[in-house]
Every structure is written in C-alpha cells, then in structure tokens.
Amino acid sequence: MLFIVKKIPYKQLIKIESKSWLLQKPKPKWAKDIEDGKVIYFESLQFKLSKHEKKLFSPTIIEPHTRNISLNSNGSIKGAIGTEEDIKALKAMIERFRNHAKNLIYSAFPEYKPYLKLAPTSFRPLDVVSRNTSWRADDKRLHVDAFPSRPNYGERILRVFINLNPHGVPRVWRIGEPFENIVERYIEKIKPYSYIYAKLINLLGITKALRSEYDHIMLGLHDAMKSDMQYQKKSPQITIPFKPGAVWICFSDQASHAAMSGQYMMEQTFHLPVAKQYNPKKSPLEILQVKTNKKLT
C-alpha cells in the first residue's frame, strides 16, 4: 500500500556550522529553535578515537540483556564487560564525550548553565534494528520521551547525541510534527488522571515517585503515538540519516522522534527546570496547562 506522508509545515531540523564544541557567540535564534521543539545538528564536531577506544566498538562490550552502558557522574560504570584496560578506556571515552556535550550546551545556551542537572552518560553499542522490544519501548516509533517509572513533574529533558559508527553507517532518525499538533490530536483520548492509581503504583514500586497529572498526560501522548500505526506511517515527518561524526541536540520530551537504524551512539541527558527556559511558555508543561486549563505539576 502506498502511504502519503505529509511534509512538516516548517523546518524541523536546523544546522549550525561549527568545528568546535565550544560555540562562539551564541545566537538567540538557537534557544528559540530548541525551545520550539526543533532538532539542532552539527555535521562535524571532532571526536577522535584512540587505538584502544576503537576496539571497544563491538556489541560484546555490553552485558547481555542491557540496552546501554552508562557512566555516572561519580565515575562508576554500568552495563559493560571487558578487561580492566577496556573498562578504563571506555570510561575515559564516555567522560570525554560528556565534557564535550557540556561545553556545547553551556556555550549554546549560557543562561541554562547554572540550572542544568547532569544525568548519566550513555554509550549504545547495539544495532537499533535488532533490538527486540514491546511496542511501548520501541523507539523506532515516533514518540516524545516520557518514562513510565520516572515521573519528572515537567522538568525538561535536553539531550545531546553523537553517531560514532566506525563503518560509515548513519543513525537514521525520523522527526515528527510539532508538539502542539500532537497535543491537539490526542489530548481528548487520554483517560482521566487517577490520584488513587498513581498512589497505588507508587506503593507497589512501579514508579520511583508519585506520577503527577503532567506525567500521566505525557505518558498518554507517548503511548497514543506509539500505538497508532496509521499515525506512525502517515503523520507529517522527515527522515534524517545522521552520518558518523554528526552531533544533534533536542528537547526530547517535546521533539517527536524515532530511531530507525544505526549502531554505536553516545548520548548525554541534561535536566532543566521549566522556569529557567528562555521562554517557559514553550514548555510541554505550559502548553498542556493552557490546553487543559488546569494547573499541572
């Protein structure tokens, strides 16, 4: 069957020319673009790999049944298997990326800097296509990030990605329609929030904290998008092959995205309070508050 995929009515992907992770003279437009839910990318920021690091690019470096290798801010690493030397090299490589990601975000959006919280840094050596998951965990379907066990009460999720594939394989993403359109499309279909249910799943340890109404709606949008195959195929979207060396950033709780294929990527997440955005009105929290006419947390 032939599906007509609608084009997104505006540019969803913005390119910034820079050879350095430390950006000179940040432009207000970058903050506007990222807070509008666009994806910003850089074609060729330097990330040189040492001889030993190149050997770490194998799926055998990750523990079985694990999705990512992650490095905590205290320097402890999870999910990796290898010799002492390998682990040392792995830590150094991931930490180097973390420092680059910090430089990039701090220099692009200087006003965020004092308020950003750093999450663990991840290295993903597995092939996206071979990942076997339920529809809900399937990141090959367009979605906005919302996590069933980790309520975040509106705090923003800002992510930096780099494709490090040593064999020239791109990381292919789809980028979907603006967040406001997703809200329009699905908000009425999300079942009402239940405080009692939220309390229950918290007591059972299913969530790490009480799921708020905001988190309930975000998860509702995430699930509604992923479970709607017509939407997956026909909604406005673009497909982008991010070549090795490409770096891209977005608010992943707002920018609709899907990872279709690729292998060997690193990712750094930052959390930002809504109030510290350049324009807090552009946050999913504020957009949902306006739409539902309710104070959400």
Q: How many residues bind Fe ion (CB under 5 A)?
A: 1
User: What's the number of CA atoms in the CB half-sphere (13 Å) around residue 256?
Assistant: 28
CB of 36 to Fe ion, least distance (A): 18
* CA-closest candidate to residue 107, choices 282, 254, 249: 249
Among positions 171-190, residues that touch ligand SIN (CB under 6 A) are: 171
Burial class (CB in 10 A: 0-12, 13-18, 19+), 27: exposed
Partner touching 171 among Fe ion, ligand SIN, none, CB below 5 to 8 Å by kind: ligand SIN
Among positions 57-116, residues that touch ligand SIN (CB under 6 A) are: none
CB of 143 to Fe ion, least distance (A): 6
Alpha-carbon gap, residue 60 to 46, rounded angstroms = 26
- Contacting residue, 43, 95, 138, 139, with ligand SIN by CB under 6 A: 139
Q: Does 33 bind Fe ion (CB under 5 A)?
A: no
- Contacting residue, 259, 266, 285, 287, with ligand SIN by CB under 6 A: 259
DSSP sequence for 163-220:
E--TTS--EEEEEES-HHHHHHHHGGGSPPP-HHHHHHHHHTTSSSSPPPHHHHHHHH
Alpha-carbon gap, residue 122 to 127, rounded angstroms = 15
Q: Does 267 bind Fe ion (CB under 5 A)?
A: no
Among positions 141-160, residues that touch Fe ion (CB under 5 A) are: 145
CB of 111 to ligand SIN, least distance (A): 25
Q: Buried b vs exposed e over 37-53: b needs ≥16 C-beta within 10 Å?
A: bbbbbbeebebeeeeeb
DSSP 3-state assignment of 43? Answer: coil
Distances 72 to 90, 109, 114, 150, 175 between C-alpha atoms, Å: 13, 23, 20, 17, 29
End-to-end CA distance of the chain: give it in Å, rounded.
43
Q: Which residue has the tokens 């509008």?
A: 36
Nearer to ligand SIN, 112 or 161 (CB): 161
Nearer to ligand SIN, 31 or 160 (CB): 160
Nearer to ligand SIN, 160 or 265 (CB): 265
Nearer to ligand SIN, 126 or 296 (CB): 126
Q: Does 252 bind ligand SIN (CB under 6 A)?
A: yes
Which residues does residue 15 pair with via DSSP β-bridges, in sequence order? 41
Nearer to ligand SIN, 116 or 250 (CB): 250
Chain residues binding Fe ion by CB under 5 A are: 145
Catalog residues that contact ligand SIN under the rule CB under 6 A. 128, 139, 161, 171, 252, 257, 259, 265
